[in-house]
Chains A and B, each alone.
Chain A
Amino acid sequence: MEQHSSESNTPDLALESEIAGLIVSALNLDIAPAEIVPDAPLYGDELGIDSIDILEIALVMSKQYGVQMKADNEDNSTIFASLRKLAAYIREHRSK
């Protein structure tokens, strides 16, 4: 279900925190979900997330929200640029 409300530009903090929890548990990360800074890059040194993890995250997102990630149609590095970007993408494309 797509949302086109005026709120679509404000971050959905509840969704961000839910996704952070899914990421931490799916990847067995050493940190608490709240420690993922919403605007910080997901890829890279901070979390040590790599392409294998991205595939893992994509699978969890499809199971949880019915969103099939695609590298070709969307700018992948944008979607995974940060938790906030990922949450915004999920909010826009989720089917469940």
Chain B
Amino acid sequence: MNPIPLLPAADPAADFAYVHGQVINRGTFHAQVLTLAAALPAHPRVLNMCNDRYWFAVALFAAIARNMLTILPNSAAPEHLAAVASEQAGLLVLGDQAENPVPGLPYLQVDTLAARMELAAAPLPDIPYDQPVACLYTSGSTGTPMPHFKTFGRLRLAILAGAQRVWGAAGQACSVVGTVPIRHMYGLESSVLLPILAGGRLSGRIPFFPADIADALAQMPAPRLLVITPFHLRKLLDANIVLPPIAAILSATAPLSVELAAQTRQQLGCPVLEIYGSTETGQVATRETDVETTWHTLQGITLEQRDGELWAVGEVYQTPQMLNDTVELFSPQQFRLVDRKANMINVAGKRSSLSFLNAVLTGLPGVVDGVYCVPERGSDEVVERLAVFVVAPTLDRTAILAGLRQHLDSVFLPRHIVFVDALPRDGNGKILARTLQELIVRHLSGNH
């Protein structure tokens, strides 16, 4: 495969990024990337901790230009960062904050570097197709977060295939606003790489409150694409505030209900494209959830059933990637999702596995035994909240939460902590589902 220029050919004067009320054109972005690339001290790997999406993008492409692998931790939990730092030697931290976000590692602040504008027209380096450019961490069904590597050429192909679908739904290339984490695959693909590699416009902001989302959208010209999770979308509709016209909405990380998709179309007048994918596969397929149950794979990706396993195949993958969900295949490009992987849990779009959470819980000093569970939701709760049963005679609620916080994203902290004298385990050391259900009924059902 031929090497590919670092950035696509573009009019240097074309508006590209909206950062702190300023509009940055393609030429300035180009110059900024090359300025930082020239200034980066030699390190094999960088840890990109930028908060602003624009500076995240500058740091990412500068690292690619220098053949430095970008490491993207899946949370800022101190233990996870420490684990990443210990398995990724020679890390340089890049950030857009005055204070080093990962003390103990060398740090370079990237947003204080003025772009050398003479570089706006400088030639771009060609990047080998197979150059590893990003390492993301999966939630890890077996317990430990696992690194997963992406190469430049394949990542770019996947983005272009996605763009064809997404720009198609929106009518043309869009201004993109994303509320989702940029160090996770969904946010990286849809809110960072899509606008950069496929002619869109990028927002520096990661808006949180509904009014912030409205602002971020209004700052950019139409057509607009909103990249969001079902949980956040629900809250945005509930807020019932005035939004500028949106051409299309992307939803991923948790199942989108038909009702929410339909209500969005009715209230905002735009389609919601739901994305099926994972850290390992990236975006695989899409559907318009309120009008179809069938998923359509992106161009160049097909699904195959082999030896009872389901595989995603295509040039975007170095090797076929196994999918853990059960599907009914209508054709290599069309399928219906029958069942999602059982052990995985999803809190407001963030994924982890019960085995991982249980391992963290029982690994805390002072915890004799413990188990996570997912109590049935109350009718008014739109998001899953977790509970734990724990045997820990010397600890209190605060100590357990503080211990877990060291390892876990805060959405996985239990809402309810029930102290018990012992947990009934069977001969294999397992807590039976029936036993757990009895505990939930006895201790937690009063909450709903």
Interface residue ranges, A against B (CB under 8 Å): 27-30, 45-46, 48, 50-52, 55-56, 58-59, 62, 68-72, 76
Contacts and interface: CB of A to CB of B under 8 A. Distances in A.
27 contacts: A28-B381, A28-B385, A28-B415, A30-B416, A30-B417, A30-B447, A45-B401, A46-B398, A48-B413, A48-B414, A48-B415, A50-B413, A51-B410, A51-B411, A52-B383, A55-B235, A56-B235, A59-B210, A62-B210, A62-B239, A68-B209, A68-B210, A70-B209, A70-B215, A71-B208, A71-B212, A72-B207
Given A45-B401, A70-B215, A50 B209 contact: no
Contacts of B238: 59
B212 A70 contact: yes
A46 B232 CA distance: 25
10 closest residue pairs by CB, A with B: A50-B410, A68-B211, A45-B401, A69-B209, A52-B348, A70-B211, A45-B402, A71-B208, A71-B212, A48-B413
B385 A55 contact: no
Contacts of A27: 415
A28 B209 contact: no
Interface residues of B, number: 33
Contact of B211 (A29, A30, A69): A69
Contact of B415 (A30, A68, A70, A76): A30
Question: Interface majority SS on A: helix, strand, loop or mixed?
Answer: loop
A92 B359 CA distance: 46
Interface string B218-238: 000000000000011001001
B291 interface: no
B19 interface: no
A28 B212 contact: no
Contact of A48 (B212, B348, B378, B401): B401
Nearest to B350: A52
A58 B241 CA distance: 13
Contacts of A52: 231, 347-348, 383, 411
A77 B180 CA distance: 20
A50 B411 contact: yes
A30 to B, nearest CB: 6
